[in-house]
Amino acid sequence: MEFSQSKTKECLARAFAGICQDGARYQFISKSALNEGYNYIADQLKLIAKNKMAHASVLYSLMLEKNEENDNVNIEAGYPFESQLMQTSLRSSSDIERNEGKNIFPHFAKIAQDEGFDDIAETFSLISEVNLRNSEKLSFLAGKFDDGTLYNDDKINTWTCSNCGHSEEKKEAWEKCPLCSYPQGYVIIPDE
């Protein structure tokens, strides 16, 4: 199939546009997290934004490689405009990532596969896996906010300062790092 006539071309354009907006949104949320004093979470969100730009770059290169006509690609699609507040957007972002990872990108991959664009299908599939991991990470953090256990757990945790590396095994994280004096927002949230 000719790329110019394919649905894959539209999927590629939609994926690129969506991921660029995801990346912008994560930068906004990261800034909110920083303003609220959640430095470690801000870094995590910034990392997701950086990953999104890497995905966008791969999709952009694929479009340049395949779209020999080099024309404008007109697309119509719905994109989310969610709150930029960190606490509420962790949950909604997790839902968006899950939808992308479970539905949208596998659907795009199937279209590309059926039309014979295996390299694009593989890229969509790999991106969907990252989206699902993002969804889990964001859902985990949202849950910690919801039940108030971000820095205070029922069990012993290893708390580590993301600034200086100081570490302690306790139920509760420190208010101020005993070594570098950086505030609680720099504490690495331990994964379960």
Assess contact for 171 and 157: CB atoms under 8 A.
yes
Torsion 85-91-96-97 (CA) sign:
positive
Report which of 137, 23, 52, 35 is spatially closest to residue 86, judged by C-alpha positions. 35
CB of 14 to Fe ion, least distance (A): 43
Site string for Fe ion, 96-125 (x = CB under 5 A): ------------------------------
Stretch 142-181: interaction string toward Fe ion, x if CB under 5 A = -------------------x-xx-x----------x-xx-
When the beta carbons of 87 and 162 are compared against Fe ion, the nearer one is 162
Q: Could you tell me if 115 and 6 are in contact, meaning their C-beta atoms sit under 8 angstroms apart?
A: yes
Collapse the DSSP code of 174 into the 3-class scheme (helix H, G, I; strand E, B; otherwise coil) and give the result.
coil
Our CB check for Fe ion shows the closer of 26 and 38 to be 38
Min CB(188)–Fe ion separation in Å = 10
Residue 132 or 164 having the CB closest to Fe ion: 164
Residue 178 C-beta: closest distance to Fe ion, Å: 8
Taking the least distance from each CB to Fe ion, the nearer of 34 and 73 is 34
Backbone phi and psi for residue 73, each to the nearest 5 degrees, phi listed first? -105, 115
| Cα R_g (the chain), whole angstroms | 20
Q: Does 187 participate in binding Fe ion (rule CB under 5 A)?
A: no
Q: Which of 143, 183 has the CB closer to Fe ion?
A: 183
Spatial strand order of the sheet with 187-188 comes to 167-172, 152-161, 187-188
Helices and strands counted in the chain (H then E): 5, 3
- Rounded to the nearest whole angstrom, what is the least distance from the CB of residue 142 to Fe ion in the complex? 25
For residues 162 and 84, give the distance between their C-alpha atoms in angstroms, rounded to a whole number. Answer: 24
Q: Nearest distance from residue 90's CB to Fe ion, in Å? A: 24
Q: Which residues bind Fe ion (CB under 5 A)?
A: 161, 163-164, 166, 177, 179-180, 182
